[in-house]
Amino acid sequence: MIIRNIKLGKIKFYLSLLLVFILSPTSGYSSSENIDYFGKFIDIKLLDKLSSKSKLLKLEIGKDHKYKNLIIKVLKCKNSEFDDNPEITSYLQVKDFNNKDNNEVFVFNGWTFSSSPSIQVFDHPVYDLWILKCY
């Protein structure tokens, strides 16, 4: 009777270990594969060149954000996979409603890079913007 209970206990123990291993979320994956490099929010610093004042904007990805006469929409935001020199890339669309001629055209529509803002320039007479953080 005792030997039978010990065998049954061992079987239950091994089955529970197997169940825990199968149901664990990290089984079969390395730690770097579970990291999501795409963000849901972004921090952008906006400089008003006329008043020399800057404003930190915390934007949700995919939503329009109105700041004075600008409508800013971030479609994608991605952190680099390397920790040595972090790079943040984002896809921005910016409309300026001071331009009464054509309100449907973006004043900026493209990718921006945090380490090299001059690659794709947001060229506006009143505002400058920089990507600070993607999270």
pLDDT for 35 equals 44
pLDDT for 72 equals 93
Domain residue ranges in the chain? 2-32, 36-134
pLDDT for 53 equals 94
Mean pLDDT by 10 residues, the chain (135 residues): 65 64 51 55 92 94 92 90 74 84 76 75 84 87
pLDDT for 33 equals 43
pLDDT for 15 equals 61
List Cα–Cα distances, 30 to 25, 33, 86, 121, in angstroms: 11, 6, 21, 38
